[in-house]
Amino acid sequence: MIATFPSLKIDIEKYPAIKKHLLSFGIKRLEQTGKEYKVNDETIKARKKTTNKWFETQDSISYWDDFSKQKILWAETMRIRKENVERFPRFSYTTKPFYADKTCFIAVGKDLKYILAFLNSTIGRYQFSQTVSMMDNGGYLMQKIYVEQIKIYELDEKIKIQLVKLVDSLLEIANDKLAEDLENQIDIVIFKAFGIETHEQKYLKEILSKPLERG
């Protein structure tokens, strides 16, 4: 099956061989009118009604180029053993072209490394523990409706630069111990920015160290 994105504004007349191939299945099957037809005593139902052309997808897919940009990625379903919830959930980052399917989400835009630091911090994880849908077998459903509720605070520019440098260092290493140290430094920076005291830090970490449950 061949289909094109409406957002690409492709002229099918420039591709006569593809047009001929598609039309061999019958225009009534391909058009986006929602109508029903009788063809050789068979009921043929067109695709649901949209303003798109017969050779195009029903979704405009105007976001298609986002997959080529730098992005934050996360799985829709994040499962983890109930007895090992440290530093959960996790978000990833890449600058490479990457096409995610419907079980994985991406976020593009500005200040992505700063956002990544915040999401993977203790404060970010605590928000998720209180917001997203929780699964009985140990994990979160990180769907859009829940993730959109997470508050990303606009901190001082100097602090943002400091966090981005720490994230850059994290992205360049593969040593687990060094990564843990850098993640702890990110936590310290964010705790200090919010004025979170030592006993409050301890409380948040204790909450996140327990098996996944919501009181």
Bridge partners of 106? 73
pLDDT, residue 170, reads 93
Cis bond upstream, residue 89 (ω within 30): yes
pLDDT, residue 31, reads 93
Ramachandran region of residue 195, left (φ > 0), alpha (ψ -120 to 50) or beta?
left
pLDDT, residue 210, reads 80
> Closest Cα partner for 116 from 208, 65, 186, 175?
186
120 touches 114 (CB < 8 A): no
Tens digit of pLDDT at every position of the chain (215 positions):
566 888 888 999 999 999 999 999 889 989 999 999 988 888 989 999 999 999 998 888 888 889 899 999 999 988 876 556 668 888 999 999 988 888 899 999 999 999 999 999 999 999 998 888 888 767 888 988 989 999 998 899 999 999 999 999 999 987 788 888 999 999 999 999 999 999 999 999 988 888 776 65
Identify each DSSP E strand in 90-181 by its residue range.
92-94, 104-107, 133-135, 139-141
pLDDT, residue 84, reads 62
117 touches 111 (CB < 8 A): no
pLDDT, residue 95, reads 93
